[in-house]
């Protein structure tokens, strides 16, 4: 377990908006003059994003947090195959990610900064190695966990399963953030956040609106207005 102040952001699956929420939280903290770092230790993708950052997600997190660290410090493990890290490594015929090795740059970030936002890859049970999952990594960190979900069809099952796994691994769940909430939600979408909160018995931290183009500053505003930042900071 690493001794640092921060939060681990996971999701109910790929594409639910973990990076948007993580970057939004980092930006909100930065605007409060909190010395924040935002990192994604494990990332995969179809191609390298830029000469500076291999992952688009890392680039967004770095921009939002005002990072000065190198790509290797913020994203020590990147595989150029859009798949779970274990599968990507297998396809590329490369060694699997070193889960314990990813802790070292995180320790450095924790010493250097007052708060660290750590974004996980995919969902909580994404395999990193043959025997280690995202949940194992989150347990090693020992940080409170924020679960990003959506009001889309299927979210009840995905969210409740994620909460159950987090509890089975002994993770401290800070709460849920429901992303991609339509401006004019239908009856099901409107009632989904409250039902998830009730059935999962975890706090509902905020809802983040559906955006035509993801904007972490807009996400930060939603988190601030609903008190999510205060609750995450404790």
Residues forming the active site: 40
Residue 227 near residue 219 (C-beta atoms within 8 A): no
Residue 164 near residue 138 (C-beta atoms within 8 A): no
Residue 13 near residue 122 (C-beta atoms within 8 A): yes
How many contiguous H segments (helices) and E segments (strands) does the chain have? 10, 8
| Residue 57, phi-psi category: left (phi > 0), alpha (psi -120 to 50), beta (remainder) | alpha
Three-class SS state of 174:
strand
Residue 119 CB-density burial (10 A; 0-12 exposed, 13-18 middle, 19+ buried): buried
Q: How many CB atoms lie within 10 A of CB 175?
A: 18
């Amino acid at each position: 377990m690493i001794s640092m102040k921060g939060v681990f952001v996971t999701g109910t699956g790929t594409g639910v908006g973990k990076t948007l929420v993580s970057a939004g939280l980092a930006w909100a903290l930065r605007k409060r003059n909190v010395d924040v770092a935002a990192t994604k230790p494990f990332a995969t993708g179809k191609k390298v994003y830029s000469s500076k950052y291999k992952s688009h997600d890392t680039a967004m997190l770095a921009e939002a947090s005002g990072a000065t660290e190198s790509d290797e410090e913020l994203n020590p493990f990147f595989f150029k195959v859009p798949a779970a890290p274990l599968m990507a490594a297998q396809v590329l015929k490369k060694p699997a990610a070193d889960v314990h090795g990813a802790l070292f740059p995180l320790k450095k970030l924790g010493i250097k900064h007052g708060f660290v936002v750590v974004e996980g890859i995919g969902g909580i049970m994404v395999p990193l190695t043959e025997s280690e999952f995202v949940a194992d990594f989150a347990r090693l960190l020992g940080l409170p966990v924020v679960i990003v979900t959506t009001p889309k069809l299927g979210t009840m099952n995905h969210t409740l399963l994620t909460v159950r796994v987090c509890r089975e691994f002994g993770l401290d769940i800070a709460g849920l953030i429901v992303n991609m909430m339509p401006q004019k939600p239908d009856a099901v979408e409107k009632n989904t956040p409250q039902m998830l909160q009730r059935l999962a018995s975890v706090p509902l931290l905020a809802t983040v609106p559906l955006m035509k183009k993801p904007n972490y500053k807009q996400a930060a505003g939603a988190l601030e207005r609903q008190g999510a930042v205060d609750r995450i900071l404790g």
